[in-house]
Amino acid sequence: MSRTRTPVVAGWFTGEGEGFRLLGTRCSACASVFFPREDAFCRNPGCAGGELAEVPLSPRGRVWSYTDSRYRPPSPYVSDPELSWEPYALIAVELESERLVVLGQAVPGITVADLAIGMEVEAVPGVLHEDEETTWTTWQWRPTGATA
């Protein structure tokens, strides 16, 4: 059976391979960038409000914090309670130009022992989980090998 590849959350990322990007929104009035995307109104309390336009985020950032995730994650990460739970490294990555911190899983095979604060990582397409009909896709962070 072939499974449909479906983003676990619609509109948060796009593209494949080198063209993969997280998608946020940017306010036309104050230039604040939001991820998760904010489509209703600008959340900057000092902003009178502008148009929110979709923007691709920087493909790379630096590890700001990380943790070993040994519990099932909250929404929007769907997880089937019937399946065995695989612990993974959860990384908070700072995107310098957007001044945003984006949480995500490390790619499979990367553990907290492989990570360090300030390490450069890039967003890559990943698989969150699979069920009978669907491969649920997400973003993951992969160390680039560049030294800080």
Q: φ and ψ at 114, to 5 degrees? A: -90, -5
Q: Choose among 143, 144, 146, 136: nearest CA to 10.
A: 136
How many residues touch Zn ion (CB under 5 A)? Answer: 7
Q: Choose among 137, 127, 130, 126: nearest CA to 3.
A: 130
Nearest distance from C-beta of residue 47 to Zn ion, angstroms: 3
CB closer to Zn ion, 29 vs 112: 29
Nearest distance from C-beta of residue 40 to Zn ion, angstroms: 12
CB closer to Zn ion, 7 vs 50: 50
Q: Between 33 and 52, how does the x/- string for binding to Zn ion read (CB under 5 A)?
A: ---------x-x--x--x--
**In angstroms, rounded to a whole number, what is the distance separating the alpha carbons of residues 138 and 72?**
16
Q: Is 119 in the site for Zn ion (CB under 5 A)?
A: no
Structure tokens at 43: 């959340």
Residues that bind Zn ion (CB under 5 A): 27, 29-30, 42, 44, 47, 50
